[in-house]
Structure 1
Amino acid sequence: MQKAMRDADLPGLSCMAHTLQLAVHEGILSQRSISDIAASGRRIVGHFKHSPLAYGRLEDCQKQLGQPVKKLHQDVSTRWNSTFYMLQSLVEQKLALASYAAEYELPCSFTVHQWKLIENTITILAPFEELTKEISSSSASAADVIPCVRALTRLLEKTVETDHGVKTAKSVLLDAVQRRFADIDAQKLYTIATMLDPRYKDRYFPEALRPRFHEQLQNILQTTNQPDPTTSTVEQPSSSKSTVTTPSACSLQAMFDELVDEVAGHSEEEITIISQVSQYMAESVLQRSSNPLAYWQVNETRFPALAKAARAYLCSPCTSVDSERLFSTAANIIDEKRSRLTPRNAEMLIMIKRNLPFITGR
């Protein structure tokens, strides 16, 4: 897909969810101590997955302890968050596993130190799991990338009590995140989309860089709001033409006009755009739970140039998750048992499947 984008000379961005997965694998799952407990966790989960009798005994232990009957989560090597869910399910069933191991044999077990390491690892990975869910939604856009990376980096830089035993892994994880997202400020789509999102604006950029990004936004607005060259200019009535006199280039009046033009420095259109950007940036940001598209629908008359640019930039997703879900939907509808399904009917079924939640609200 990346090669197709390059060959077609189309601008493209990397999938943020995939970049996060690479950072997690490099930063924490590659650590020897953590990879060892993950491998032991797979053996424990596999023991129950391959034995209905063992699962029945585990359920009996859960009932005796008054815990809800739950199954352990099996991880998948290609999805880091599945390893997170596996470790989380092991911690939830810690007492039930101890009760099971007292009467039956397990392929391996965890020490007190390893259980503590699992809990601290879950604490480190929890923000990544939360962030992955958020950016994988159908409403996520390219405007979410820079604020999410800034917040994630600041969180990893803080020192907390749960860092015991995982300080090195956390440091390596922070380095991996910073390296993977080192060039996000250089991506124009990210910066413009972030500033056009009323939940973020310029608040997530260093103060020294804000003037540069403001100028970049103004240039984009001037480009997108250029008048159509094919539109003919409406001629003024002949009577008005006769009343307007152009002063001579060597006259005193010409000097007055020249001085005024030098001080102004901008055309009327440029001044309008600059004032829109200044007023928009001066207002407070919205809550993160707000809908940025609804904001622009309401404020389109106040900031027409910004609203026009927002329609172009806030539609860009930050991950390929939603498009991959669409492919999965098509694969579930078109299979060997529905070989006589026409392309038109298949397209309509996919359209209904993907858009019905937006209509029903579920």
Structure 2
Amino acid sequence: MSAVWSFYTVCESDVKFASCNTCNGKIPRGGSTSKCFNTTNLIRHLKNKHLAEYGEFSRLTAENEKKTTGAVRRQLTQTTIANTRSYERGSQKAKEITRKIIELIGLDDQPFSVVEDAGFRRLLSHLEPRYVLPGRKYFTDVALPELHQTVYSHVQHLLKEGVSSSLSFTSDIWSSDVSPVSMLSLTAHWIDSDFQLHKAVLHAQEFSGSHTAVALAATFEKMFQTWHIPKDKIHVILRDNARNMVKAMTDAGLPSLGCMAHTLQLAIHEAVLSQRSVSDIIAKGRRIVGHFRHSPLPYARLQSVQKQLGQPSKRLQQDVSTRWNSTYYMLHSLLEQKRVLGVYAADFELPATFTSSQWELIENMTTLLEPFEELTKEICSSTASAADVIPSVMVLKRILTKETAADHGVKTTKDTLLEAVTKRFADIEEEPLYSLATVIDPRYKDRFYSEGLKTKTHRLLLGLMTEAAQRDPNQEHEANNTGEPAEKVPRPGSLSSIFGEILAEETPQQAHTDSPTPSEMIIYLSVPPISRSASSLEYWKTNKERFPDLAKVARAYLSAPCTSVESERLFSAASNIVDEHRNRLMTEKAEMLLFIKKNLPTMLTNK
């Protein structure tokens, strides 16, 4: 408030004027509304008429300005000091920044030494000068265990709903190439009440010593005890086909199935890749690809030839002996560059070349293996389940029995491959986990079964439904329908076209049971399967009220994947954590980092 009001009073009769306390004169306030009022006329009146009062007014104004300036300066000083003072380590802001740094280390496979790197420290100093970056030891001994415990508690919370139904698991063993470390994994898969599929890594722990069945069985027992998972809630464990792993599951009393991708690998290697003519081609292919990958000059020449022939610049793909489809990709890439390689060989030296008959064999082999490559992609997807096994094997067998123009030169190989597939997957129809998963999948139902298997599966399904009804006898049944996306027209002879061919041959039949069948089972099996491109989980989410007992069975049997690829992907992450730059990382820290990397994204998504 201006000091001038020490000498004036607002007129009560008209607020547009102020009355001078010295001469009682009415002085206009300089406007017609309160927003326009000012003190200019009042100060001028004092200066012209009352010099003594004007001097007092000047003195009071100077004192007020001095007080105001002092207060502002003190406030600015306090603010400046606060802005330059470092955060206490226990402050909320410091904790948040530290948390983000350890999350970065876990999610992006960064070494703990990143907190000592000059560039990282300069970046943090620029973004937040008040933050004091703790040392490396603080992140390894304090920040990492704290974040691990937070994520661990989150996974525990998620598992509660999974244990209320049934849990499926995948497991695998990994050995590092850069340090003497072996790790055993355990990943849980389950479907919640809203038919959302969840996955969580429970263990990726050191497994030292001999990998015997006894040691494996004891370790699995301890893993499940750690998470308080009873055996009757374990639906199945997907594992590789190694004898020690198979025996360990049997000894521990754990239901298990072999990885379908591993079984396909064994069948193809046994029937195709081990043949002399094919192995010779593969050996030559590796030498040719190696010639271009190990030196920049040959590759530059190859690019030049590709450009001359008007073809896009492509690299030849190197195969990995443990992945049959990588060998397929290598042969396919060589076949794509057949003309380019011919022109290249005319001007430059190659370590090996193919004859015309070998080129023909490569073309026929890639055609023969194309459905297997397509199927491998499907079963290794995140949505594949145990329900895909029986239909996929049936389709493969039908493809291998069909005669085509591409059979020339590979007919014997094709027959041998059919024998290998039949042998390797001989027992899948006898495995209830497969047959029940297939019938409860609305894309397949019982359309891929023999008559005998239909009867057996219907009875097994009836028993499971009866158990589900007894657990919840008051369940209300409500009708519901679900729309289906349009099915794309598949390419003739492709995997999808054979699926459609088999489905078109089968017609819905009465469910085979010895007792009155629940109406929901009759209705479910009588309706044609949904499109293969549709989601079985979305179907059950929509129809869980219509088929409540079947939906309970679906939650358990559709949770099981058909491969252990999740564990293999886990150990791909492990190879990034335990690498040449961190080959001395303690196993305990590696386990924590791997656990955080795989489970933290789910936690952040749910926030």
> Into which bin does the TM-score normalised by the smaller protein fall?
0.7 to 0.9
- Answer yes or no: is the 8 Å Cα contact 2:305–2:343 preserved in 1: yes
Q: Describe the superposition over 1:111-131 as per-residue Cα deviations: whole angstroms up to 9, x where unpaired.
A: 211111100000011111111
- Answer yes or no: is the 8 Å Cα contact 1:201–1:281 preserved in 2: yes
> Paired residue for 2:599, among 338, 343, 351?
351
Rounded to whole Å, the distance in 2 between the matches of 1:317 and 1:185 is 17
Quick one: higher RCO (CA 8 Å, sep 6+), 1 or 2? 1
Which amino acid in structure 1 is aligned with residue 346 of structure 2? A
Number of the residue aligned with 2:311: 67
- Answer yes or no: is the 8 Å Cα contact 2:272–2:413 preserved in 1: yes
Residue aligned with 2:518, SS: helix
> Paired residue for 1:16, among 260, 263, 269?
260
Rounded to whole Å, the distance in 1 between the matches of 2:570 and 2:409 is 41
CA 1:348 to 1:108, structure 2 compared with 1: closer, same or farther past 3 Å?
closer
Residue aligned with 1:13, SS: strand
Q: Does 1:275 align with 2:275?
A: no
Number of the residue aligned with 2:373: 129
Residue aligned with 1:62, SS: helix
- Any residues of structure 2 matched to 1:85-124 within 5 Å, and which? 85-124=329-368
Shift of 1:339: 5.2
Which amino acid in structure 1 is aligned with residue 323 of structure 2? R
Q: Describe the superposition over 1:172-225 as per-residue Cα deviations: whole angstroms up to 9, x where unpaired.
A: 000000010011110000000000000000000023432222112112222343
> Paired residue for 1:80, among 324, 330, 339?
324
Q: Does 1:313 align with 2:557?
A: yes
Rounded to whole Å, the distance in 1 between the matches of 2:335 and 2:594 is 44
Q: Does 1:285 align with 2:529?
A: yes
Which amino acid in structure 2 is aligned with residue 347 of structure 1? F
Shift of 1:11: 0.5
- Answer yes or no: is the 8 Å Cα contact 1:117–1:166 preserved in 2: yes
Rounded to whole Å, the distance in 1 between the matches of 2:339 and 2:566 is 38
Which amino acid in structure 1 is aligned with residue 283 of structure 2? A
Rounded to whole Å, the distance in 2 between the matches of 1:17 and 1:292 is 21
> Paired residue for 1:214, among 441, 458, 465?
458
Number of the residue aligned with 2:406: 162
- Any residues of structure 2 matched to 1:235-250 within 5 Å, and which? none
- Any residues of structure 2 matched to 1:33-72 within 5 Å, and which? 33-72=277-316
CA 1:77 to 1:295, structure 2 compared with 1: closer, same or farther past 3 Å?
same
Number of the residue aligned with 2:248: 4
Indicate the larger mover: 347-356 or 138-147.
347-356
- Answer yes or no: is the 8 Å Cα contact 1:137–1:322 preserved in 2: no
Number of the residue aligned with 2:135: none
Q: Describe the superposition over 1:300-353 as per-residue Cα deviations: whole angstroms up to 9, x where unpaired.
A: 111111000100110011100112212322443466559596976763432245
CA 1:346 to 1:278, structure 2 compared with 1: closer, same or farther past 3 Å?
same
CA 1:300 to 1:27, structure 2 compared with 1: closer, same or farther past 3 Å?
same
| TM-score when normalising by structure 2 | 0.50
Residue aligned with 1:39, SS: helix
CA 1:126 to 1:346, structure 2 compared with 1: closer, same or farther past 3 Å?
closer
- Answer yes or no: is the 8 Å Cα contact 2:287–2:351 preserved in 1: yes
Higher-strand-fraction structure: 2
Q: Describe the superposition over 1:68-88 as per-residue Cα deviations: whole angstroms up to 9, x where unpaired.
A: 111111111111111101100
Higher-helix-fraction structure: 1
Residue aligned with 1:225, SS: helix
- Answer yes or no: is the 8 Å Cα contact 1:333–1:350 preserved in 2: no
- Answer yes or no: is the 8 Å Cα contact 2:389–2:562 preserved in 1: yes
Indicate the larger mover: 46-55 or 163-172.
46-55
- Answer yes or no: is the 8 Å Cα contact 2:307–2:313 preserved in 1: yes
Number of the residue aligned with 1:294: 538
> Paired residue for 1:304, among 532, 540, 548?
548
Number of the residue aligned with 2:427: 183
> Paired residue for 2:443, among 174, 189, 199?
199
Rounded to whole Å, the distance in 2 between the matches of 1:73 and 1:102 is 22
Count residues with an aligned counterpart.
319
Rounded to whole Å, the distance in 2 between the matches of 1:152 and 1:343 is 40
Rounded to whole Å, the distance in 2 between the matches of 1:289 and 1:165 is 35
Which amino acid in structure 1 is aligned with residue 395 of structure 2? A
> Structure 2: 5+ residue runs without aligned partners?
1-244, 474-512
- Answer yes or no: is the 8 Å Cα contact 1:200–1:285 preserved in 2: yes
Rounded to whole Å, the distance in 1 between the matches of 2:414 and 2:297 is 39
Q: Aligned-pair RMSD on alpha carbons?
A: 2.5
Which amino acid in structure 2 is aligned with residue 317 of structure 1? P
Greater Rg, structure 1 or structure 2? 2
- Answer yes or no: is the 8 Å Cα contact 1:199–1:287 preserved in 2: yes
Number of the residue aligned with 2:96: none
Rounded to whole Å, the distance in 1 between the matches of 2:591 and 2:294 is 41
Shift of 1:5: 1.7
- Answer yes or no: is the 8 Å Cα contact 1:326–1:354 preserved in 2: no
CA 1:355 to 1:53, structure 2 compared with 1: closer, same or farther past 3 Å?
farther
Shift of 1:354: 6.9
- Any residues of structure 2 matched to 1:217-228 within 5 Å, and which? 217-227=461-471
Shift of 1:50: 2.3
Rounded to whole Å, the distance in 1 between the matches of 2:404 and 2:377 is 24
Q: Does 1:25 align with 2:269?
A: yes
Which amino acid in structure 2 is aligned with residue 56 of structure 1? A
Rounded to whole Å, the distance in 2 between the matches of 1:59 and 1:23 is 37
Which amino acid in structure 2 is aligned with residue 149 of structure 1? V
